[in-house]
Amino acid sequence: MTQIFRRSADTWLRVGLLLLIVGLSGGLLVALTLEGTDYRTGRNWVVEQPLPFSHAHHAGELKIDCRYCHSAVQSSAIASLPPTETCMSCHSQVWKNADVLAPLRMSLREHEPMHWQRVVELPDYVYFHHGVHVNAGVGCSECHGQVDRMQLMFKAQPLNMGQCLACHRDPAPHLRPVDQVTNMQWRTDEDRRALGERLMKAHPIEIRGLTDCGTCHR
Ligand code: HEC
Ligand code: HEC
Ligand code: HEC
Ligand code: HEC
Ligand code: HEC
């Protein structure tokens, strides 16, 4: 009988299979390691902006309320970014001629909005609504961290599905009185869970359905 495969073919087949298995499991390992890491979620990354706007200065030191600039946050799905006019309510007087504010003056002159780069953004297939959370007593800092200390904005929390679900399963310890949602210094001596449960009864917040896929993927 003629030999179709040389004897070494068998060895090559084994070596090939081995390499394939090593390669696949290695790739899987890398993928699993990256999943949930800062690299994958973009956490703690500072994004380049048209000018170095400081939340630490404006929200922290000057104590301007978040809603002065993110005015839609309580009433709609999006929080919204401020138009140039909002900045100019002060900067037409304060630091009027500062070089760092040149892009702002240009934007006003040319009627061209500032091109702020987004820092916290979900994929299109996820539905999110700010108003629902803010009115339920979930503070900005639960999802955005200590914004009042950020020189430049960065994403402080992964805000991935795991984080959404963890709170949706058990929101009580994350809630606060609604009039404190933008207060970055808010603390309480009361037990967070006891307070949260009381707030959930009063609002009222129904957790049934909050972890259904269709709540966030519609
Ligand atoms: C309520 C008033 C107010 C508003 C509104 C305001 N600023 Fe300011 N901003 C200030 C003051 C006050 C200073 C600091 C002046 C100083 O340090 O003496 C300042 C400083 C700055 C600086 C200099 C760097 C720094 O942070 O010290 C930049 C840049 C700046 N503002 C950008 C903006 C932009 C962009 C907006 C709109 C999104 C804005 N500001 C809205 C009051 C305001
Ligand atoms: C004076 C106006 C002003 C105030 C007050 C302010 N912000 Fe902002 N915020 C901005 C501007 C301008 C940007 C876009 C530039 C940037 O990302 O730094 C922004 C960006 C953000 C972003 C990132 C949005 C994205 O996806 O790009 C978050 C989150 C945010 N602000 C939260 C807050 C919170 C929380 C507060 C209150 C503690 C607050 N901001 C107060 C002007 C303001
Ligand atoms: C439950 C979590 C959560 C809370 C609470 C929350 N945010 Fe956000 N925020 C997000 C997510 C998620 C995004 C990205 C939304 C997207 O891409 O659709 C976002 C985006 C933003 C943006 C970018 C612009 C926009 O309209 O999407 C700003 C500004 C912002 N948030 C400000 C605030 C402020 C101010 C508060 C408090 C009053 C707040 N957020 C409370 C999760 C939250
Ligand atoms: C810290 C707690 C917390 C986190 C984190 C959180 N949520 Fe929620 N979410 C709530 C609470 C509480 C409610 C219920 C509010 C109510 O019933 O009034 C809610 C309700 C919702 C709803 C229902 C809105 C509606 O139409 O009634 C959606 C959608 C939603 N969340 C999406 C998300 C997504 C997407 C994320 C992650 C990016 C997220 N949430 C993260 C606490 C949280
Ligand atoms: C509370 C909100 C919420 C609920 C409920 C939810 N998801 Fe998600 N899901 C997210 C967010 C936010 C992302 C995008 C961020 C990420 O990759 O984790 C996501 C991403 C995904 C992805 C893409 C994953 C990837 O790695 O690219 C799939 C698939 C998915 N969800 C399926 C589901 C299924 C199935 C359910 C029901 C069992 C579900 N989700 C329930 C918020 C939610």
Token pair of 148, please?
């009042």
The proportion of the chain whose per-residue pLDDT surpasses 90, expressed as a percent, equals 78
CA of 174 to the centre of ligand 4 (A): 11
- Dihedral sign of CA atoms 181, 183, 185, 186 in order: negative
Is the pTM higher than 0.75? The answer reads yes
> What residues have CB less than 8 Å from 49, skipping those under 6 apart?
116, 117, 152, 153
Residue 30 pLDDT: 72
* Residue of 37, 39, 161, 213 with the most ligand 5 atoms within 8 Å of its CB, for mutation: 161
With a 6 Å cutoff on the Cβ, whether 182 touches ligand 2 is: yes
With a 6 Å cutoff on the Cβ, whether 186 touches ligand 3 is: no
* Residue of 81, 154, 157, 182 with the most ligand 2 atoms within 8 Å of its CB, for mutation: 81
> Whose CA is closest to 119, among 161, 81, 155?
155
CB 79 within 8 A of CB 130: yes
End-to-end C-alpha distance for the chain, whole angstroms: 64
Residue 3 pLDDT: 66
State which residues of the chain have pLDDT below 70: 1-4, 32-36
Place of tokens 């780069």: 117
Residue 42 pLDDT: 77
Residue 163 pLDDT: 97
Residues in the chain: 218
From atom 15 of ligand 3, which residue's Cα is the shortest distance away?
Answer: 121
Residue 19 pLDDT: 83
Token pair of 7, please?
């004897």
d(CA 97, CA 94): 9
Place of tokens 């994403």: 155
